[in-house]
Chain A
């Protein structure tokens, strides 16, 4: 099938999903142990979207992310040690501890960047797509956003201009059923949010967001379309957040039967089963062990790394004195 990832590509996506899941689990443990600051938004259960949708991009392509960006960071090729160290506020983190887990950016990888103002990732990618179009480049811009973010006014305004100007971008709607604690049925009268594309002449497709290969296929067709100058596409990936909204969420609003059903469809398990026959269990075990070891080392290194020292940011604060 056209746009199908090769076995090697699938193994790499599988590895990255395990990296993300392990990171999320370790962060949960570190939070419980009081070793993290502020809320952390884990993406357990949604790894296939972030990893599958970024796997066909190059460093020259741009993505924008949300407050729940760990799979996007790793998918776009950021190294887990830099991500972990940033989340733990260390000098060795991608942003020297300034950004924290929600706002990581690495322009050299086209990752600019995490964004915790809901909806703001959408025009951010549209602006990058506009720049590509003006320059006559062949890169694409991609935004990740949730079903909650799809309700913001700025989402509609951005989609309208993207459709109007045929901007080279892909909208990846990560439909995990909740905006914070509120179910999507309380936020929108329509179930399939991608149908809104019709209003902006943007084609759309719904995919199984827990199947990394399905995500890859749909998104890579959209990426090719954008590169050919045919404009934007909306990919609505149906998925589910199997942990709380953040590490400070007390839960209680997700239905137990839904949690069980979605855990059955864990994206890593689906990927594992689909690769088993082709590569054998030993190979998959080896990949998993290496991925887990890499994350564990990143946590160990980050905890041993120095905390940053403060200096005034002179560009914006020229009159301030360091304290």
Chain B
């Protein structure tokens, strides 16, 4: 396999000392032989680091024998992958129709005010990143939210505050 020397050198992208590229190499090594390895690789990286840092793109491109543009194109296509670090907890508020029918918009407004950030933003203490989600499959009992892997149904403003407070307490 012929690879341009330049694409061999991850340092060509501004390197980010906070990212452990060795860990990323191990992840890629583990999944790269799967057919259609890209999504499993990206999921594993995001699960490990909390996001997919730009500095890993050349590594993935090299190992999966793709161009950097292709790798970047995939990462940016999917809502799930984020390119910046997030807060400690991810708060997802469902904004789809069934939840809209029972007050999802009001819950979203409350969440923004309570966390002091907009969707895709992070609270100033770095604890919570607020994300919209389009259906969590709990549509009979909305409005719904998920914090990390914990689901909450019929979320009132009070319930939202309680759940967020509990997460803060668990640090």
Tell me if chain B binds chain A.
no
